[in-house]
Each structure stands twice: as structure tokens, then as C-alpha cells.
Amino acid sequence: MQKNNIPLAYRSINKFNSTARSNTSRVIEAPAHPNDPELLCTEKVLPQNIEEEIKDGFFELKQKFKEAGPSSIYISHVVLHEKHPILKKIEVETLKKLLLESSVIYLSVGQILYRQGVQDAFVYIILFGKLLLQVPASYSKKEQQSYIPSANGTQDLIDQEDLESLQN
Amino acid sequence: MIGKVNIGWTLGEEILFDRNMQIRKEMAVAETESCLIGINKAQLAIMQKGLLESGNEKDYFVIESILKGNYLIKD
């Protein structure tokens, strides 16, 4: 998804089939209804220092007259709205609302955001940093799980071995 | 490794568009110090509904197209 170390923002534009295709755009071919819009994606090169500029909008707040004590991080919505390739596209008021409804997650190198196989109802937007998407080697065939829709419309999680035994 | 994501990308948006992907199919681990915002999909739906009700269709479609676009690219 990411080539080299250049930060990229991805802009997706829905255009109808009759629209002329840009030579610089990659067209995602997916089976769809003929009247469905087609997805065109362009890669936009961001300034090299974009992450540093976004980090400039993070402030640590401490109590003024006590040396020890809890501190908190304030994230400037103004900086995010000016610099962030996704968040700059929405109104400031919408961004404020989004920040209020969201949790802020800081990860150190090697920390895991979520593991394979867990149920996680969150959608994440990266403010800065890089994450790897991995299928761990330990997640072997034995541990691979399949999803079988059950009669009531929910999905049951079963082991691959169980699935094979069911099929046999 | 199946991919690398950085600023400009979203993670976990597949739960909004594919009922067969409510359980994570991969692990996401920080390669560098990182910061993200995470919003519960129910809260996001309420927020998007509020955008439509308040007449802010533009932001509704911006959020929807970014999330759907990222989902389709990764798909």
C-alpha cells in the first residue's frame, strides 16, 4: 500500500462510467452493477515534514503550581484541520465533534492496536506514525477460522479443523 | 506482512461495509511511534446521521467516501 517512505494521502473519487479516466489514476475493477459508480483513486504526495507539523499541534498540559501530578495531552483541532490530509476535508465543527466522540490512542514501537481474531467495533484514523498490517506466522492453518452464516443471520466462529470435519 | 499504513489511511473501516468482517482478519502493530483516533462504529453512525439532519451533506459524503474508498482499495 505504501511505496518507499513518502507519506501519501489517498483520495477517492466516485465517478460514473461515462466519465473520462485520468491517466494518473488507478481504477479499481470490481464486479458491480453496470450503473454503479466506479472508484477512481489517486495517490497524493504529502510534504515530507507533514507528520512533524501535525505533532506541533500536540500540547502537554500540566498543573501550574505543582511539580508532580497528572498531565494531559491537548490536540489542536486547528492544526489538524490545517494539516491532516483527511481531517482538512471536513468542517472544523465536524472535526471537533469527531474528536469529542473519539478516543485518542498512542502507540509505541511494537505496540499492537488490535490482534487478529478479536472483535473490535472501532474505526481508526491515523494522525501520525506508521502501522504494519500482519497475519502472524503463528496464525497457522490450524488456527485459521472460518465464518459460517447461521440460520438466524448471525455468524458463528469455528475452527478450520471443525469446518473440515463438518464438511467430511 | 500484508501492508503498511500511515497518515492519510484509516484502519478497521471494513466493519462498516462487510458483515463478514466484524472480526479482525489481521493484526495492526506500530512500526513507529503512532497516534490515532478511534471511533466506535455506532457513534460514527450517529454522528453521520446528525450531519445529514443538520444539512451538512458534504461532510457526510466526505467521511463516507474516504472510509469506503480505503475499504475498497484494501479489499
List beta partners, residue A149: A155
Which of B46, B67, B18 is CA-nearest to residue A155?
B18
Model confidence at A13: pLDDT above 50: no
Mean pLDDT of chain A: 72
Q: Which helix (H) or strand (E) holds B30?
A: strand B27-30
- Angle A92-101/B41-53 helices, nearest 10 degrees? 150
Q: Tally C-beta pairs within 8 A across A and B.
A: 242
Q: What amino acid is encoded at B55 in this protein?
A: G
> How confident is the model over A108-128, as pLDDT tens digits?
999 999 999 999 999 999 999
Domain coordinates of chain B in residue numbers? 14-74
Per-residue confidence band for A139, with pLDDT thresholds at 50, 70 and 90: low
Quick one: average pLDDT of A67-94?
A: 91
Q: Does B61 touch chain A (CB under 8 A)?
A: no
The more confident residue out of A141 and B6 is: B6
Residues of B in contact with A46 (CB under 8 A): 7-8
* Residue A32: per-residue pLDDT: 61
Per-residue confidence band for B74, with pLDDT thresholds at 50, 70 and 90: confident
For residue B12, how far is the Cα from the chain centroid?
6
Residue in chain A closest to B3 (alpha carbons) equals A133
The more confident residue out of A42 and B18 is: B18
CB contact under 8 A, B29 and A111: yes
Three-state DSSP state, B35: strand
Residue in chain A closest to B40 (alpha carbons) equals A122
Q: Dihedral of CA B28/B32/B33/B35: which sign?
A: negative
CB contact under 8 A, A130 and B59: no
Predicted TM-score (pTM) of the model is 0.72
Q: Does B4 touch chain A (CB under 8 A)?
A: yes
